[in-house]
Amino acid sequence: MFKRLCCLTCFFAMLMLAGNAFAAKIDPASITNGHVYLFENVGANVPDDSANNNTANLIGNPQVVDGLNGKALQFDGIDDGVHIPDATDLNLSTHQNRTVVAIFKCDDVTKSAKQAVYDEGGTTRGLAIYIHQGLVYVGGWNLSDYTPEWTGTFLSAPINSNEWHAVAMVLRGGSAGMEDNKFEMWMDAELIGKGPGAELRSRSNDCGIGYHNSQIKYHDGNVSATGSYFEGVVDEIWIISAALTISELSPLMGEPWPYASGPNPADGALHEATWVTLSWTPGDIAASHDVYMGDIFDDVNEATHDSEVFRGNQVTDFYVAGFPGFAYPEGLIPGTTYYWRIDEVNDADPDSPWKSDVWSFTVPSRTAYNPVPSDGTQYVDPNNLTLTWTPGFDAKLHYVYFGDDFDTVSNAVVGLPQTDATYTPGPLELDKTYYWRVDEFDGLAMHKGNVWSFTTKPAISITNPDLLCWWKLDEGQGTTVLDWSGHGADGKFVGSPVWVEGYDGGALNFNGVSQSVTYNFPDQTWTAYTLAVWIKSDVLNQDNNSSMCSTYLTTGGGFQLSTMI
């Protein structure tokens, strides 16, 4: 946990998650998206060691003492604390990602009174690290603003008195609605557990170290005003508006990260070249690196030094492929996914080598791909349709062939070149299958594409003029919900509802946060109406805005079918 050595490269500039912060040796003052309190220069106030200068002030009379890493603050458990003022990267904005790390030693963990190490927010929204009866807790909650609300997640682990610990809570990808596994607890570089979480909205209550400044929420449901004074020593507090990975948390918690990380190209990337320079961030104690590379995942994942995909042991942290004298001397092949792995080696350590994840990158095909609509799509609206695709690797011109006969499109040889990767076929018929093909020219050769197809939606007659809309939800694909009443009230996806099996045929599954299907009816007066829907609700404790079906008029009025407690 060496204070001047542990720094998070992800905090800076564009949050580049390069990993291996332990070896980065970057001053905490470079951190721009958070606040750091190391207690090295405490005077009348407590300086913020980040770039944001959010100076905190002492409450009571905490004493500067020698800590685990340099100086620290000793709290008496009676009336000592540190008050942290409001700040944008602290409590005055919404956070989907957050990391708080506290390094501390508690004098007596068996106290019946709760002891707050770090407090942020209040009883409606907040985060906390505290100790109670032999356990250290991390907690997070957001009790309003969205549905389902984040009712509170409290994770804990046993600790002993007078022992140093590094505890972190991480909010990772929270959204406007509680979801599983978004809130994490880490202690001493080990994952303790995960629980539900959601985004944390702006909260006006100030923050505190060694006590809770205003109000706080606890695991047992108790809510407390100012108090919960901590007895012990706090060495460091890191508050960061990012969700740190294990390789970034480990150095803050005093543990070297032995694994290679930070692959470049990034895992899963498209790499538009027939050669590549692989690079990575070495593990903290690596003396050399075993390199594995191939085009079959299992071959790379299971490889040993005797495998064909073993490319050698080296001390440099980069590897070149796709040139004569290197792996794949004829060049990487377009349309191929390559897999690679770096094992970190240190013969002086009995745990060596440390096997990395298997990373991949793909050299795009020279033929067109990713057609929209996707191949085989049904129920396509024939009006104002524009076809799009992803151009093949290094394509300069595109030749489009379109028609209603597979063989004609497949065998066509004459087409007009175009530079845009879009094509508008014009008016189409209902209930008909169309075929299309895109050939790519890269300046040297023509690359014939696959034949794709889609089928337009059927012609639906009005059999009951009073049936204004009938969404059967049987399509099973696409982003349009057909109206089988014949009135053309086709629904459009908002977000990404998922097609699933339903009670009678197909159905749509919604996440309760950001997904829906909408259609704008013309304003009209209904003296009588009937609304029917088959539903299955995951939870029933939603508010009256959690509707299965609703209508409203721009002039006011409407109706809604909802679940409530």
Encoding tokens for residue 215? Answer: 């109000």
**For the chain, first and last CA: distance in Å?**
49
Q: Are residues 402 and 499 in the same domain?
A: no
In terms of C-beta distances under 8 Å and separation of at least 24 residues, what long-range contacts does 2-7 make, across chains too? 2/69, 2/254, 3/28, 3/38, 3/40, 3/69, 3/70, 3/236, 5/251, 6/251, 6/252, 7/31, 7/251
Tokens 């004569």 sit at which residue? 324
Query: Last residue of a domain, which of 456, 474, 498?
Result: 456
Q: Are residues 282 and 152 in the same domain?
A: no
Encoding tokens for residue 378? Answer: 């049904």
Q: Are residues 111 and 210 in the same domain?
A: yes
Encoding tokens for residue 2? Answer: 């060496």
Which domain CATH number covers 355? 2.60.40.10
Spacing of C-alpha 385 from chain mean position:
33
Say if 24 falls within a structural domain. yes
Q: Are residues 521 and 412 in the same domain?
A: no
Q: Are residues 205 and 84 in the same domain?
A: yes
Say if 13 falls within a structural domain. yes
Q: Is 27 buried (19+), middle (13-18) or exposed (0-12) by CB count in 10 A?
A: middle
Whether 521 and 537 have beta carbons less than 8 Å apart is answered as no
Say if 180 falls within a structural domain. yes
Say if 3 falls within a structural domain. no
How far apart CA 36 and CA 90 sit, in angstroms, is: 11
How far apart CA 381 and CA 478 sit, in angstroms, is: 11
Q: Can you list the residues of the chain whose pLDDT is less than 50?
A: 1-26, 543-544, 564-565
Element (H, E) at 85: none
> Domain span at residue 413?
369-456
Say if 199 falls within a structural domain. yes
Q: Are residues 113 and 226 in the same domain?
A: yes
Query: Last residue of a domain, which of 217, 252, 287?
Result: 252
The number of folded domains in the chain is 4
Q: Residue type for 277, please?
A: T
How far apart CA 226 and CA 229 sit, in angstroms, is: 9
Say if 2 falls within a structural domain. no
Q: Is 397 buried (19+), middle (13-18) or exposed (0-12) by CB count in 10 A?
A: middle
pLDDT at 262: 85
Whether 229 and 75 have beta carbons less than 8 Å apart is answered as yes
Q: Are residues 430 and 317 in the same domain?
A: no
Q: Are residues 312 and 379 in the same domain?
A: no
Whether 271 and 293 have beta carbons less than 8 Å apart is answered as no
- For residue 200, what is the DSSP state? B
How far apart CA 241 and CA 89 sit, in angstroms, is: 6
Which domain CATH number covers 162? 2.60.120.200
Say if 376 falls within a structural domain. yes
Q: Are residues 143 and 44 in the same domain?
A: yes
User: Can you say whether the dihedral through the CA atoms of 106, 107, 108, 113 is positive or negative?
Assistant: negative
Q: Is 420 buried (19+), middle (13-18) or exposed (0-12) by CB count in 10 A?
A: exposed
> Residue 261 phi/psi, 5° resolution?
-150, 180
Say if 268 falls within a structural domain. yes
Encoding tokens for residue 248? Answer: 């970034």
Query: Last residue of a domain, which of 360, 384, 405?
Result: 360
Q: Are residues 197 and 322 in the same domain?
A: no
Which of 285, 197, 190 is closest to 246 using CA atoms? 190
pLDDT at 147: 85
pLDDT at 16: 29
Q: Are residues 230 and 267 in the same domain?
A: no
Q: What is the pLDDT of residues 243-287, one digit of tens each?
A: 988 878 887 877 778 899 889 999 999 999 999 999 998 988 999
Q: Are residues 509 and 379 in the same domain?
A: no
pLDDT at 523: 66
pLDDT at 563: 52
Which of 104, 101, 100, 55 is closest to 82 using CA atoms? 55
Tokens 């807790």 sit at which residue? 137
- Secondary structure of residue 299 in the 3-state scheme: helix
DSSP E strand stretches across 282-347: 288-294, 310-314, 318-321, 336-345
Element (H, E) at 174: none
